[in-house]
Each structure stands twice: as structure tokens, then as C-alpha cells.
Amino acid sequence: MKHFSLLRTLVVVLVIITAIMVGCKKKPVDNDIRVGVILPLTGDSAYMGVAFKSGMDLALAQYEQKRAAENLPEVKVFYEDSMDLSKNAVSAYQKLKSIDKVDMYICVSGGWKALIPLANADKKVLFCSAVSPSRVTEGSEWTFRFYTSADADAALMAKYAKEKLALHNIGILYVNDDFGSSYKDVFSSVFTEESNNTVITEGFNPSDSDFRTVLAKFKSKRIDGLYLLGYGTNMGLVPKQMKEIGLNATFLSIGTISLPDVMQLAGNSINGTYYTTTQFNAYMPETKELIDFVREYKTKYNQQPTFFEVFGFDSFNILASVFKMSGKDSDKIRQGLLAVKDYKAAVGAVSFDENREASFPLKVRQIRNGELVDAEW
């Protein structure tokens, strides 16, 4: 009986010691930095999201190759399809927050406006790309934008149209949403400032495909330039229909006019078009960063990047440069992005200002016989 009692005592002691040891043992710390990306992977705007994701995946793969050697933090990326709809973007945000426990968010294209108050309340960085309207970051210290904006892009085209092309009476055909309205307003303000220049504006719905009536109206007003602000198939249809009705105005637009699908749809009608864009040119890369990106992209995907890929690639690399110092801490990520100045990205030297807006080189190009060339100024 005494032996049994002693054995039982020893078992109890061992159980207590084991429990103490287990309790004292530190739980593994989850140090990986989690990035939630909300973007259109299906629907009419999928071409933007798919291209952005391919560029980001390339940057992530390159990061992983050097992470161990350079003792870099682990970064995990979680993608959610928004279909470019605000309600889907909000659902994606909630899923990334509650299930994936992400440390910051990237929003590509639609849904950004609905996400700003959510990220603001959670004090998480919301990094926006493929978002062009004016004042996107206004009112939220947690919202950043890395993309061309109406304030810079439309202003550049207005100055070029006025100073170099010497146009005086321009028609603006714009998609009736935040993007189109912002570009229209900025262009109109700059083009008519301190001059006798005039602007005639007409809006359209994203699903519209027949623009002949409104183009005929522009023709009757004797415009000498037409500024097109849209996306998708309308970018290729408008120049074709201009040619059909004999509207011979100088054609102006934005960077997406040079996408391969748009140029193929428009055919010869797009020849001579002036458009604003970044210094990104996959066919004539000028900087080391852009040359390297184009080469690595072609190696991985066996095709040329077109436009949105470079923003996915640079977005990850800019954030990764911040993560080395910030870790998972939200405020340190925010402060780190504010400190980004002249970062050598594939899109050019990138800096963020006090309003959390990115600046990088913009230029005017022209489509000449199917080639994308720098326009003279």
C-alpha cells in the first residue's frame, strides 16, 4: 500500500511539473507580415486586377529568393476578388480582417471609397492603386495612393494641349463616374485658365458602345481636339466611330489607350493619338529598374507586361522596403511610407508627400503607326 501511495505521489508531482513546464514554455510568435489585396480578378475590370496580381507575384517570388540570405521578414499575401464592386470589396475586407488577420490592405480599382472608413476605424494602412480620382487620400491618415491621379495626369495633358498643340476648343467625352468626372474637371480648369479656350463635355455610361450621336454633336461644335476618358472597349470604339463620321479632331487620352487589346480594336483609327502615361515602356525600357523588371516578367510569364503589372510589382517592393523597419506595426508602416522619397522603382523614382500621395515621372506619348513614342514638347 505504501509503495502504491508513493507511486501515486510521484505521478502527481510529475504531472504538476509537466504542467508548469508547458505553461512556462513560450507560445510561438507569429511574426509574418500579412497583406490583404482586394482587386478585380473577374468581371469587366479583371484585366487590371489580373495584371496587377501577376506583377505582385513576381515581386513576391523575387523577395522569397533573397529573404533568408538577407534576414528579411516573412510576407504573406492574401488575394480577394472584388469584381470591382464596393459590396464585394467590403465583404473581402471583413474576411481578410477576421479570418486571415492581415496587417494592412491593398485596394486595386473599385471599392476604395467604401474601404477607407473601415481601414480608418481599424487604424490599418489602405494602399490604393489603379485609383485615379482627385482627393482619394483626403480625410484619412491611413490611406495612401500609388497611381496616376487626375490632379497630375489631366493637368499634364491640358498643358500639352494648350501649350504644344495649340488647341482651343476641346470636347471631353468621359465615363460618368468618379474617375471620369475628376479628370474632366481638372483638365477643364487647367485648359481654360487665363485663356479664351473652351471645353464642351459629354458623359457616358461604362456599358455604352455607340458614340456616334455625341461625336456628331462635337463635330457640329467644330472642336479641334477630343479628350477621351474611359476604360475597356469604349477606348477602342470611340476613335473608330470618330473616323466613321469624319470627326478629324486631334485625339487625346490616357495611358490605357495604349493597351494591346484597345489598340487592336481601334486599328488605324488610333494613329496619331496623344496620351499621358508613366515612363513605363516595356518595348523601350530606359532605366535599370525597368529593364530588369521587363526581363524578369518575360522570363516568368513568357509575355510582355503592358501597364498595370508594373504597379503590382512596385507596390510590393515599396511596401517590402518599409516592412524591413516597421514589421507588423500599423503606425510604423504608415510612418515608413511617409518617409519613402525617391525610391528607385520600375515606374520611376517614387516619393510620398504629406498627403500620402505618390509622385513619379509622367510624360506625353503618341501612337505613331502602331509604335508608342515620346511626344515632342
Q: For every one of its 377 residues, what pLDDT tens digit does the chain have, with 9 covering 90 and above?
A: 444 454 454 444 444 444 444 444 443 346 899 999 999 999 989 999 999 999 999 999 999 999 999 999 999 999 999 999 999 999 999 999 999 999 999 999 999 999 999 999 999 999 999 999 999 999 899 999 999 999 999 999 999 999 999 999 999 999 999 999 999 999 999 999 999 999 999 999 988 999 999 999 999 999 999 999 998 889 999 999 999 999 999 999 999 899 889 999 999 999 999 999 998 888 788 899 999 999 999 999 999 999 999 999 999 999 999 999 999 999 999 999 999 999 999 999 999 999 999 999 999 999 999 889 999 88
pLDDT for position 30? 64
Domains 33-148+285-361 and 151-253 share a fold: yes
CA dist., res. 105 & res. 36, Å (int): 5
Q: Parse the chain into domains and list their residue ranges.
A: 33-148+285-361, 151-253
Domain 33-148+285-361: give its CATH code. 3.40.50.2300
Domain 151-253: give its CATH code. 3.40.50.2300
The three three-digit cell numbers of residue 180, written as one number: 471620369
One-letter identity of residue 297: Y
pLDDT for position 28? 38
Among 44, 68, 48, residue whose Cα is nearest residue 56 = 48
Tell me how far the alpha carbon of residue 22 is from its chain's centroid: 48
pLDDT for position 232? 81
pLDDT for position 80? 98
pLDDT for position 8? 52
Among 223, 203, 227, residue whose Cα is nearest residue 276 = 227
Write out the DSSP string of 94-137: HHHHHTS--SEEEEESTTHHHHHHHHHHHT--EEEES--STTSS
